[in-house]
Structures are given as C-alpha cells and as structure tokens.
C-alpha cells in the first residue's frame, strides 16, 4: 500500500519529464531535418528547450526556500522533491537539445559541465539517500537522533557511573579522574531554580520539570542481586575511568591531549573487534560475579560504536548537500549570465 | 488508679496477641492494621446507631480517591474494614443534601483515615471478652464496627447527656486547635458570625462547637504565631501558624497525586509540614498541582490571590471560546448552594472560577452532538431535552469541517473539493461514533431535571458522545468540566447520583445497538434490550484486571461497551496473547466475549456432539480475558441470553452455529500462536488512532518533520524522532490520539481535553503540574517553559518560567494538516492507526 503511494507521487513528474524531453527532442529533430543540420539555441525549438531547462533549474533552486518555509502549506514537500528529482534529471537532455548536442564556446562548455556536475552530485546524493537508510536500518539498532549523540553518550556515562556505584561502591581514590559531568547532570535533572555561572538565580521555574529516564542497562543492573568483589570493583573502576568513559564520551580519541604515539591517542576500544578482545581480557582479570556489570558496560560501548558509525553515515547522507547546493547556486548565476549574454547578442 | 477489672479490659483491649494487628503511627499512636477478608464483605454486623438498630457489612470495598473499587491481580475486590464513620454515613446520608452528624476535620471520604484530630468523636458501648460493657469516646474515622456495638453520635435524640459530652469534647479539641492556629481576626469572625462558605473548616467547627463568649478558652503556646510562612512559591502560600497538622495535604500529595513531596517534619509544638528535605516550597520538587491547597481545611495552604485571578480569567476566556456559546459564569458561592456541589472544596471552585457556566437554551438548540468528543457535562436545572441516540446530523462531519484548504487550493479556487475520505497522510477520520458495526437508530428519549445530569458519559469514559441532545422547551443547564466531575466522584452521595445516571444512560443508549443483536428484528432488539437492561450489570474494569481466567467455570457473557481487552492463553508457565479486542471487534464482530462457556452451559445438549469431538468441557473458559485499558462491560447472565434466544429461534440457531465455529477456531488457534501480537498489544498500539510512523527505509534523517513542527509551533517541537521500531517502521514520540487517552485523567484544571474531533488539545490555563505527562505511558507530552513575568528580588528582576504541558494536536490549531507529514520530502512520514501499522508491518514481514 505504502509502496503504491510512493510510486504514485513520482508518476506525474516522470511523465512530464519524459514528455518534455521527447517532445523537444522530436521538435528539434524535425527542425534540424528541415534545416539540414542540428539546430541549436538560436532556433525556436532550441530556444524553447533552453527556456524550459532554465525554468526547471530556477524551479529546482526554489526547493531550498520551500524547505525553509516549512510552516506554510505550499503543497506537500514530497511533491516538490519528486518534481525536483525528475525534472532536474530532464535538464541534462534538455540542455543538450538546446545546444544542438554541442558544447559550444568556453562559457557554454563551462555551463554545461557545471550542469552535469550538479546532476552528478544530485544523483550521488539520491543514491546515498536510497542506500544508507537501508544500511542504517539493518546495522544500527541503537541509532538515535544525530544531534543528540553527545547528550545520549553523557547520559550513558552517568548511568554507567551509577551502575558501578551500585555494584562496587564509590570510585576508589587515586584512580584516573573522571570527567566533571555535574553541571550537565544537574541540567538534565532540571531544577526549579536555574542558576547562572556565579550561582545567582537566573530563572524561576513554576510547575513540573520533566526528567529523563534511566538507560536500559542500568535498570537491568538494579535488578541483579549479587555479591560483588571489592577487588573486581577496583579493577573495573580503574578501567572504566581510564578507558571506558573516555570512549563513551568522546568515541575513538582516547585523550584530548596531543601525544605522538598513535596507540596513546586512540582508544583501545576503537573497533568492535578490539572492544570484544579488551572486554575479554578484563573479564579474565575479574571474578564471574562481575560479568553482568562488564556485559552492561560492553553494551554501552557497542552503542557508542553505533553512534560513531551513525555519525559517518550521516556525513554520507547529508554531506553532499553542501556541494550540490553550492554548485547549484553557481549554476544559477552562470545561467543568468548566459541568458543575459544570449539576449544581448540575439 | 485503674482497678483490676479495667486492667483486664485494657489488656483485652489491645492484648499481646492483638498487638501484631496494630502498628504505631508517626505520632506514636496505635493505629489499626487489621486486614479485612473477602468474606467480611458479605458478613453482617448488627449495631445500634443513636438508638436505631442497623446492620452493616463487616467490610466495604476499598476504593481509590475517585470511588473506583479496587481489585487485586486475581480480579478480587480488596476489602477494608467498616469504620463507625462509614456505618453512620450509611444510616444518615442517603440522598443529596443529607449530612453525616459526625464532625470531621482530618478525615475525608477519599483519603485514608488517620485519626489525628480526634474531632470525629462518638460514644461507643461494647461488650469486652470479660463480659463487661464498656463505654468510651472514640474517633469514628478509624474505629471499626463490632457486633453489638452501640454508637451514640451528636445527633442522638435519646441521649442528651452523651450528646453534651461529645459536643463538649469536640469543643475542647477545636478550641485548643483554634487557640494555637487561628488569628485574632479569625476568632473575631467566629464570634461575629462566619460567612456561610468560609473555606476554613476549623473556624466553622469552632463556631459550632466552641463554648461561651470567650472563644477560645485556652491560651496558645509560646510558638503560636511564630512558626513562620513560606512564600517562596509563585502559586501557593504556606502559613505554618495556621497548620493543624491534620495530614490532609500530605495524604493528598502522596496518596492521591503520588507526587511524594510533602511530609511532617519535627516533633511536638515544632512539628510542621515540609517539602522534600525541608526545602522552601519553590526549591522542592513540588509541581504546584494545588491538591494540597484544596485538601487543606484551614488557611495554612492557600492559592495566591494573583494566581486565582489570573487563572479565573484564563479559564473563563477558554470556556467561552471552546463552547462558542454565551453563558453566565457560576461563582463558587452559587455552586455551593446547589446540593450536588456541596461536598466540593471552596478553594477548588475558587481556583477553577469560570469553569462552570450557566446556559439557557431555547427549543431546538442543541447541547451536544453525537460522535463528537466533549469535556463538559451538563447539570439540568430546568426544562426538557430530547436525546437522539446514534443518529448523527449529515452535515456535521468533523473531517470536512477541519479540512482547511491549502495555499494553492485557496489560490486556485479548489476549496470546494475537500475530501471526506480517511487519509493516511493527514490521519483525518470520517468520524462515525460509537461501536463499529452497530446499527444506527433514531430512537428518541427525553430527559429532564429528575435525570440530574447529561453528557457525563463522554467526560468520564473519554469517548465520543453517544447521542445528540436538543432542548425541546426553554431549558437551563450548568456546564461543568471533567475536573468538577472528578471532584464530585470523591463524595459517595454525589458519586452515587452520577453513577446511577451513567448506568441508566449507558444501558439505555447502547444495548439495543450492540452488534450481537443486529440479527434480530427491531422489535426483537428492543425486547432484548429490555431484558438485559433489567438485570444486566454495568462493569468497570481497570487496566490489567482479569475479567475471567482460563479454566474457570462460569457462564456469564460480556459485551464490551468501551476499551480493549486482551485474550490470552497459558502454555505451561508462559502466557501468550491470542488477540486483543475492542467494542464490536470481537470474533465475528458480535461485540461480545465469553460466549463459548455461556452457550455451552445453557445449550449443552444441542452442542454435545461438537464438544465431545473437540474434547471441550462445557462451561469452562478457554482463555483468560483481562482489561488492557479502562474497560466497560455489560455482564449478561446466560439465563438472560437464553430468554432472548428461546423467543427468537433464528437467533438461537445463529448463536449455536457461532458457538461451534468459535470453539473450532479456538482449537485451531493452539497451533498458530505467535509473538507478534504480544509486542503490538504490549506497546499499546491497538489504542492508537493517529500514530506518527516513519518508514526508516525512506527516511533520510533530515529532521524536516521535527523542524516543520517546531517552525509551526513557536519554535517548540511537539515530536521527537525516536521511539519503538516495528520492522522498518519507527513510531515517533508524538501524540497518537488514543481511543482511551490516559492523559485526560485527573487534570486539576481541565486544560487538556478533546473537543469535537480526536486530537488532544492543551489550553493556555494549564498550570504545568505534569499530571498528563506522567499519565501518558508513551512520553508524548512534554513540559515546556514559557516566560510569564518577573519576580523582584532586591534590585534584580528574575524571569518566571511557567511550565506548560505541550502535546501534538496534529496541527488542529493551525488548520488541521500535520506539518510533520506535510513537510517530509521523502514520503517517509505517515499518520496511521495502530491497525494500519500492524497491517503495514505484516505486509513487509517475510512469510
């Protein structure tokens, strides 16, 4: 049902694109036959094809303001995008028909190249947006909202600290210092008196303050009734402070300090395989009772791996847009120049 | 010095063996901890109250603050021992306006009794194990009735001396409290005559029971007037001097609202109420719901005057806007003059000023329309109304009303082409009310003043209105909000009036239209409705409660009026959900369940061959049915069904055929159980009318949906692109317009409601208590701060941020098309029902 709906959206723009291409190509062909050679932009069919292509290009550029004006009902965006895709694809053939299948001078060649570069970047992005969501769906079950990755990571770290405190007691002194998350933690908890950096009340909140829930692993941990070993506790806290939490908070870089040795710069948990090995070694150095805690920590690390992968996937998903939009604007400017020049020397 | 006999009595009174039945309260007093048994619910205890022999049950069903009878996991009623106060209430309070003669201060019907104030004194005479009869003054709210007990209250005509003793004792207690907790101004008011509706219950008691000209007779302690105030909160003022430590506020906060903010702190004269770890109210986790204020019997907790004024204005504006009709506001004083409202706290009515509106209707004017949602009920003051059940005016489809044309449609003049077909993208509905499959009737009923109330069903069950109500003569009603109805439910008398009206309306309006009877002729349907309405029981089942269990022997048949039930079966120790069913959606759309056991017990001989073949024991339940949400059922005895079936041979044959096919289907089900249904049911998707579903295969995570939502609603998004996943679909965190929205329950100011169509709307007079956000099991309501003025602290102006609940109204407020779906460039966002999602998921699943 949904698939049928999706196809329906594209039928109109596809038909229009095909009609435009076939119609102008046939007209151009007919005109060329009577002229004896391929007619170009100065002929009526060429001019019409060029005008249509130009109109489409300017229409394509309108997608950006349309997206900005989200709150207005300016026709559903999916129809805009469908038209953007199929009519956009038609601009290539239409431009070729307009030019009489020739590149012409330097300027028109540059314009044509830019057009095809825009088309290529668009097609690349289109493919990315078809392939990557499917990949993410299958491979990133812990996926979260891209902009929330840092917040979720901090929450995970706070939950992990609470879990270790519940299991082994507070962090022993003398171990690597943990990052100061108090301020962030207080912000997450919310308060009716919001204070500024100097401790002065900057806002008074009246009413209920929504609080975030605990992560799944922690909730599971609290139900575990086990006796934990204090030696395990010291070791797990030590490894947590020096390796696990930096990874949870920052991902692959182990330290913000710039050290020369690569092994010192990168986390030993930087790949899923290394994480597996690392936790395997840690498990060996602890008693069996610590296993549920280590499993929960490992799950948080796996989640972090997925966040890292999600970041990369998001870059592929959306990174191309800057290039596509940038060259599209350049194309628009060159096209305007082309039109002005063409009209001037008509 | 106690004599020997008294010592024996006192030992027997709380003997060592009985010690375990008691516990010491916070103040060191012994409190009863006797558990009642289920048998006690039926066991009569003969007592005498003021010379009247009277029989009461040894226990009564335990109820929550709304009067809902509580049941345990096994579906059994939880009993609690009957107190003297309960018994006196049963004797004296039978109709609206009747008064219990026992004065109360710390006790209220909807609160757990604690017996701290001792104002509810009565004299009892009871025979001890020693054979001696002992008289005593006891607090009636905590003391349990015992066989042969003779109770004398202050209303006794035969025992003037005892009455004097009781009144004197109460007088001493209230004057002692008054000396410590009333101001000079309060005492002057008491001496000079109180305002009839003065909210200070202590003042009223002192006026009634205080003795002589010099009230109070006692000197206050040194601490009196020096306990201080907490004025930190913007909503509530705390005056510790006026606090009598009755614990009504703490019980309201902890037991009713379950906010767990308030408690008693300190000892002796220093004791006082405290918030969290004795923080100023503003800095505590208080959500400013006001429950403590409306529970407070003195001036210890009051709403700030500016807040009451501001709130009153907002509510009035809203009441006028939402009803679209003119009406005059009924003041708190006027409300309290109406008997049914007499139990509602003045402070509640004051805080909700403007919520009750008097409306005058001319003949032909309609009060409400079938199929629409509503959040107000109407107390009939005069006149007569015609009730048209089931029929919906042709020209009032919500879908067509709410469909606002878009920019291009308006520009191109395409406004007349609005579709009325349900749309996946917009989630709009065609809006036919009531139970699916029900024949629409045009039967007309009439209601008048004797029916007390109209329109209460839509408020209490949160479903569409089941009838159109039109005035047939000049009439007057008082329109009240759901929050006022909730308050009425806290009082047994008004609750009984409401329940009776509800039962009458529910049974009259729906039974004839139940799908199970659609095979009958109109006359047969009317007769069936008559038979059922006579003896059928209207049951209300709370979420999770079992209706019947697999393997049980019983022969009742149940018709679902509202809500959804879960049909499950045990396989070893594992429970597997077979299906979930709602009104009219039970197998074969009969709207009934439990038929196999019922039909097998009444037509055992006709069905014997089939039973033997399928190895079925007649009368035994084949599965467990339990409520998924708030469910209302009509329980019909199998004998009633037999009476209907015997009079209609065709109907009987159809029932028998149905029993055979159901039994066969049940047997086949054994082999086709899957876990898919469980996930669907456990996540509450059956309840969803408009889920925001994202197809993750097409979604590019561009967040256009979220941005569109935020852009359209003042920069605050009402959806979060996170949630449960079903195959490749993500159910985003956004209001799903549940058929039974939990969020609507318990709003203290009725700011969250459904009016007309299915979308949930939160109005500006929300006080930000977060009750709706807590109630929503799907996290679809968020608390958002809005700046509302400043507070001056020295030379600083600190911004005040008023929290308000915010939820997706599917863009009803800005034209009706959900912008999240409209803005999705990849056609990955949809609005769909839970059933449609299930269908979509199944179509994607590899077989």
Residue B377 lies in a domain: yes
Supply the pLDDT for residue B256: 92
Residues A239 and A336 in one domain: no
Residue B248 lies in a domain: yes
Tokens matching residue A73 = 């009902």
Query: Does B488 have pLDDT greater than 70?
Result: yes
Best residue in B281, B803, B820, B828 to probe A by mutation, most A CBs within 10 Å?
Answer: B803
Residues B320 and B433 in one domain: yes
**Any CB–CB contact under 8 A between B702 and chain A?**
yes
Supply the pLDDT for residue B571: 75
Mean pLDDT of chain B: 82
Residues B525 and B665 in one domain: yes
Averaged pLDDT, B523-534 = 78
Residues A10 and A107 in one domain: yes
Rounded Cα–Cα distance for residues A198 and B589 (Å) = 66
Residue B81 belongs to domain spanning: 34-158
Burial of B679 (0-12, 13-18, 19+ CB in 10 A): middle
Domain final residue, candidates B681, B708, B735: B681
Best residue in A63, A70, A74, A189 to probe B by mutation, most B CBs within 10 Å?
Answer: A70
Residues B323 and B469 in one domain: yes
Residues B558 and B644 in one domain: yes
- Contact B822/A76, CB-based, under 8 Å? yes
Q: Assign B325 a pLDDT band (cuts: 50, 70, 90).
A: low
Residue B785 lies in a domain: yes
Supply the pLDDT for residue B363: 93
Residues A132 and A152 in one domain: no
- Contact B284/A202, CB-based, under 8 Å? no
Q: Which of A5-14, B24-33, B409-418 has the lowest mean pLDDT?
A: B409-418
**Any CB–CB contact under 8 A between B727 and chain A?**
no
Residues B662 and B650 in one domain: yes
**Any CB–CB contact under 8 A between B395 and chain A?**
no
Residues A162 and A289 in one domain: yes
Residues B733 and B824 in one domain: yes
Residue A172 belongs to domain spanning: 146-314
Q: Which of B132-141, B572-581, B643-652, B769-778 has the lowest mean pLDDT?
A: B572-581
Residues B689 and B785 in one domain: yes
The pLDDT tens digits of the residues spanning A26-40 come to: 999 999 998 888 888
Tokens matching residue A59 = 């229409």
**Contact between B505 and B632 (Cβ < 8 Å):** no
Residues A271 and A294 in one domain: yes
Q: How far apart are the first and last CA of chain A?
A: 53
Rounded Cα–Cα distance for residues B673 and B96 (Å) = 53
Residue B355 lies in a domain: yes
The pLDDT tens digits of the residues spanning B239-281 come to: 999 999 999 999 999 999 989 999 999 988 889 999 998 999 9
Residues B655 and B786 in one domain: no
Supply the pLDDT for residue B444: 66
The DSSP letter of residue B211 is -
Rounded Cα–Cα distance for residues B46 and B145 (Å) = 9
Count of C-beta atoms within a 10 Å radius of residue A336: 13
For B825, which residue in chain A has the nearest alpha carbon? A78
Tokens matching residue B115 = 């017996």
Best residue in B236, B701, B778, B840 to probe A by mutation, most A CBs within 10 Å?
Answer: B701
**Contact between B430 and B420 (Cβ < 8 Å):** yes
The count of domains in chain A is 2
Residues A202 and A328 in one domain: no
Residues B707 and B770 in one domain: yes
Supply the pLDDT for residue B431: 33
Residues A135 and A152 in one domain: no
Domain final residue, candidates B158, B180, B195: B158
Q: Which of A70-79, B47-56, B560-569, B582-591 has the lowest mean pLDDT?
A: B582-591
- Contact A210/B783, CB-based, under 8 Å? yes
Instruction: Cite the DSSP H helix spans in B324-385.
Output: 332-337, 346-351
ipTM: 0.89
**Contact between B709 and B718 (Cβ < 8 Å):** yes
User: What are the beta bridge partners of residue B476?
Assistant: B360, B382
The count of domains in chain B is 5
Residues A255 and A129 in one domain: no
Rounded Cα–Cα distance for residues B354 and B329 (Å) = 5
Residues A176 and A105 in one domain: no
Instruction: Find chain A residues with C-beta within 8 A of B285's C-beta.
Output: 192, 209
Omega prior to B640 cis, within 30 of 0: no
Residue B291 lies in a domain: yes
Residues A156 and A138 in one domain: no
Averaged pLDDT, A188-209 = 81
Q: Which residue has the tokens 């009923």?
A: B445
B585 Cα to chain A: minimum distance (Å): 23
The pLDDT tens digits of the residues spanning A261-292 come to: 555 568 889 899 999 999 999 999 988 888 88
Rounded Cα–Cα distance for residues B278 and B670 (Å) = 59
Residues B649 and B697 in one domain: no
Tokens matching residue B335 = 């409300």
Residues A308 and A328 in one domain: no
Q: Assign B499 a pLDDT band (cuts: 50, 70, 90).
A: confident
Which CATH number do you get for residue B628? Answer: 2.60.120.10
Which CATH number do you get for residue B281? Answer: 3.30.70.20
In the three-class reduction of DSSP (H, G, I as helix; E, B as strand; rest coil), residue B229 is classed as: strand
Q: Determine which helix (DSSP H) or strand (DSSP E) holds B805, and give its type and residue range.
A: strand B796-806
Q: Chain B window 238-297: which residues touch A at a Cβ cutoff of 8 Å?
A: 282-288
Residue B3 lies in a domain: no
Rounded Cα–Cα distance for residues B356 and B379 (Å) = 10
- Between chain A and chain B, the number of residue pairs with CB atoms below 8 A apart is 151
Nearest to B801 among A5, A204, A208 (CB): A204
> What percent helix, strand, coil does chain A show, rounded to 5?
70, 5, 25
Query: Does A179 have pLDDT greater than 90?
Result: no
Supply the pLDDT for residue A96: 94
Residues B531 and B474 in one domain: no
Q: Which residue has the tokens 């070791």?
A: A235
- Contact B695/A2, CB-based, under 8 Å? yes
Averaged pLDDT, A48-52 = 95
Rounded Cα–Cα distance for residues B413 and B416 (Å) = 8
A251 Cα to chain B: minimum distance (Å): 21
The DSSP letter of residue B256 is I
Burial of A106 (0-12, 13-18, 19+ CB in 10 A): exposed
Supply the pLDDT for residue B597: 82
**Any CB–CB contact under 8 A between B724 and chain A?**
no
Nearest to A73 among B770, B802, B815 (CB): B815
Which CATH number do you get for residue B141? Answer: 3.10.20.30
For A6, which residue in chain B has the nearest alpha carbon? B827
Supply the pLDDT for residue B352: 87
Query: Does B48 have pLDDT greater than 90?
Result: yes
Which of A279-308 are b and which e, b meaning 16 or more Cβ less than 10 Å from the residue's Cβ?
Answer: beebeeebeeebebbbebbbbbbbbbbbbb
Residues B69 and B131 in one domain: yes
Residue B182 lies in a domain: no
Averaged pLDDT, B544-554 = 83
The pLDDT tens digits of the residues spanning B710-759 come to: 999 989 999 999 988 888 999 999 999 998 898 998 899 989 998 778 89
Averaged pLDDT, B412-425 = 36
Closest to B317 measured CA to CA, from B763, B814, B815:
B763
Query: Does B437 have pLDDT greater than 50?
Result: no
Residues A338 and A257 in one domain: no
**Any CB–CB contact under 8 A between B402 and chain A?**
no
Nearest to B234 among A70, A141, A206 (CB): A206
Supply the pLDDT for residue A225: 56
B783 Cα to chain A: minimum distance (Å): 6
């Amino acid at each position: 049902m949904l698939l049928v709906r999706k196809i329906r959206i594209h039928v109109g723009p596809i038909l229009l694109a095909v009609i435009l291409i076939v119609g102008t190509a046939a007209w151009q062909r007919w005109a060329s036959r009577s002229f004896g050679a391929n007619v170009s932009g100065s002929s009526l069919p060429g001019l019409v094809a060029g005008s249509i292509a130009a109109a489409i290009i300017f229409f394509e550029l309108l997608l950006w303001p349309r997206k900005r004006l989200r709150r207005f009902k300016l026709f559903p965006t999916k129809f805009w995008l469908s038209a953007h895709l199929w009519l956009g694809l038609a601009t290539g053939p239409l431009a070729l028909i307009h030019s009489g299948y020739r590149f012409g001078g330097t300027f028109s060649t540059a314009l044509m190249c830019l057009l095809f570069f825009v088309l290529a970047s668009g097609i690349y992005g289109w493919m990315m947006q078809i392939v990557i969501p499917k990949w993410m769906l299958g491979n990133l079950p812990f996926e979260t909202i891209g902009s929330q990755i840092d917040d979720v990571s901090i929450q995970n770290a706070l939950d992990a600290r609470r879990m270790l405190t519940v299991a082994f007691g507070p962090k022993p002194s003398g171990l690597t210092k943990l990052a100061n998350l108090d301020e962030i933690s207080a912000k997450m908890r919310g308060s009716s008196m919001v204070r500024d950096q100097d401790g002065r009340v900057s806002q008074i909140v009246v009413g209920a303050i929504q609080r975030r829930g605990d992560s799944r692993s922690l909730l599971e941990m609290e139900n575990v009734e086990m006796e934990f070993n204090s030696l395990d506790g010291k070791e797990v806290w030590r490894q947590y402070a020096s390796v696990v939490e930096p990874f949870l908070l920052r991902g692959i870089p182990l330290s913000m300090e710039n050290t020369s040795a690569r092994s010192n710069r990168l986390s030993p948990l930087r790949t899923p395989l290394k994480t597996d090995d690392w936790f395997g070694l840690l498990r060996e150095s602890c008693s069996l009772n610590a296993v549920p805690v280590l499993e929960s920590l490992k799950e948080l690390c796996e989640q972090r791996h997925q966040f890292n992968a999600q970041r990369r996937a998001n870059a592929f998903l959306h990174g191309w847009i800057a290039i596509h939009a940038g060259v599209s604007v350049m194309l628009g400017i060159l096209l305007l120049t082309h039109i002005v020049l063409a009209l001037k020397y008509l | 010095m106690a004599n020997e006999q008294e010592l024996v009595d006192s030992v027997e009174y709380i003997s060592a063996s009985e010690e375990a039945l008691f516990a010491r309260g916070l103040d060191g007093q012994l409190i009863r901890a006797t558990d009642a048994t289920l048998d006690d619910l039926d066991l009569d205890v003969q007592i005498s109250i003021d010379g009247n022999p009277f029989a009461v049950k040894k226990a009564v069903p335990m109820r929550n603050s709304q009067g809902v009878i509580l049941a345990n996991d096994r579906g059994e009623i939880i009993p609690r021992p009957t107190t003297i106060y309960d018994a006196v209430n049963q004797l004296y309070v039978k109709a609206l306006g009747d008064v219990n003669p026992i004065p109360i201060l710390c006790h209220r019907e909807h609160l757990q009794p604690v017996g701290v104030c001792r104002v509810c004194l009565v004299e009892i005479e009871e025979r001890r194990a020693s054979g001696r009869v002992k008289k005593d003054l006891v607090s009636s709210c905590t003391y349990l009735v015992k066989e042969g007990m003779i109770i004398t209250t202050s209303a006794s005509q035969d025992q003037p001396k005892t009455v004097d003793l009781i009144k004197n004792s109460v007088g001493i207690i209230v004057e002692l409290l008054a000396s410590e907790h009333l101001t000079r101004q309060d005492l002057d008011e008491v001496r000079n005559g109180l305002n009839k509706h003065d909210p200070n219950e202590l003042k009223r008691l002192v006026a009634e029971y205080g003795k002589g000209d010099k009230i109070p007779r006692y000197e206050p302690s040194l601490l009196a007037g020096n306990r201080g105030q907490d004025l930190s909160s913007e909503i509530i003022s705390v005056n510790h001097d006026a606090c009598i430590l009755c614990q009504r506020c703490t019980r309201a906060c902890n037991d009713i609202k379950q906010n767990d903010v308030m408690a008693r702190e300190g000892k002796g004269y220093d004791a006082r109420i405290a918030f969290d770890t004795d923080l100023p109210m503003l800095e505590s986790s208080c959500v400013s719901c006001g429950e403590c204020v409306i529970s407070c019997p003195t001036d210890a907790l009051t709403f700030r005057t500016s807040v009451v004024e501001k709130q009153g204005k907002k509510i009035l504006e809203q009441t006028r806007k939402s009803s679209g009709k003119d009406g005059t506001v009924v003041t708190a004083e006027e409300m309290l003059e109406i008997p049914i409202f007499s139990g509602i706290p003045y402070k509640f009515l004051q805080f909700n000023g403007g919520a009750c509106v008097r409306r005058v209707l001319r003949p032909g004017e309609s009060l409400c329309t079938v199929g629409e949602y509503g959040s107000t009920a109407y107390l009939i003051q005069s006149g007569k109304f015609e009730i048209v059940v089931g029929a919906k005016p042709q020209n009032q489809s919500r879908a067509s009303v709410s469909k606002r044309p878009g920019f291009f449609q308006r520009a191109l003049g395409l406004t007349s082409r609005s579709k009325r077909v349900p749309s996946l993208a917009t989630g709009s509905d065609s809006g036919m009310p009531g139970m699916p499959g029900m024949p629409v009737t045009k039967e007309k009923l009439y209601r008048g003043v004797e029916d007390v109330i109209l329109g209460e069903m839509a408020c209490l069950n949160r479903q569409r209105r089941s009838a159109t109500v039109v005035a047939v003569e000049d009439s007057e009603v008082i329109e009240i909000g759901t929050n006022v109805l909730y308050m009425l439910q806290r009082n047994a008398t008004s609750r009984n009036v409401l329940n009776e009206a509800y039962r009458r309306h529910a049974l009259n309006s729906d039974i004839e239209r139940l799908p199970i009877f659609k095979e009958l002729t109109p006359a047969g349907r009317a007769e069936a409705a008559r038979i059922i309405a006579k003896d059928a029981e209207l049951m209300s089942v709370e979420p999770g409660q079992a209706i019947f269990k697999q393997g049980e022997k019983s022969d009742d048949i149940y018709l679902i009026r509202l809500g959804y039930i879960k049909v499950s079966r045990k396989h070893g120790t594992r429970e597997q959900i077979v299906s979930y069913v709602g009104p009219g959606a039970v197998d074969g759309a009969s709207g009934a369940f439990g038929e196999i056991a019922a039909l097998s017990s009444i037509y055992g001989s006709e069905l014997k061959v089939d039973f033997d073949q399928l190895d079925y024991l007649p009368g035994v339940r084949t599965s467990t049915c339990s409520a998924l949400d708030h469910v209302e059922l009509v329980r019909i005895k199998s004998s009633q069904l037999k009476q209907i079936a015997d009079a209609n041979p065709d109907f009987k044959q159809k029932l028998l055929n149905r029993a055979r096919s159901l039994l066969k289907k049940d047997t086949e089900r054994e082999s086709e159980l899957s876990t898919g249904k469980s996930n669907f049911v456990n996540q509450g998707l059956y309840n969803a009318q408009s889920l925001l579903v994202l197809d993750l295969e097409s979604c590019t995570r561009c967040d256009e949906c979220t941005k569109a939502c935020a852009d359209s609603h003042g920069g605050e998004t009402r959806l979060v692109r996170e949630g449960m996943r079903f195959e490749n679909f993500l159910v985003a965190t956004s209001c799903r317009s549940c058929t039974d929205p939990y969020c609507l329950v318990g709003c203290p100011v009725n700011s969250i409601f459904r009016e007309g169509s299915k979308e949930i709307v939160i109005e500006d007079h929300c006080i930000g208590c977060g009750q709706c956000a807590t109630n929503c099991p799907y996290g679809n309501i968020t608390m958002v701060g809005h700046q509302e003025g400043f507070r001056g602290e020295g030379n600083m102006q600190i911004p005040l941020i008023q929290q308000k609940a915010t939820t997706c109204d599917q863009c009803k407020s800005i034209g009706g098309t959900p912008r999240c779906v409209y803005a999705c460039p990849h056609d990955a966002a949809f609005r769909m029902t839970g059933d449609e999602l299930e269908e979509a998921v199944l179509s994607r699943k590899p077989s």
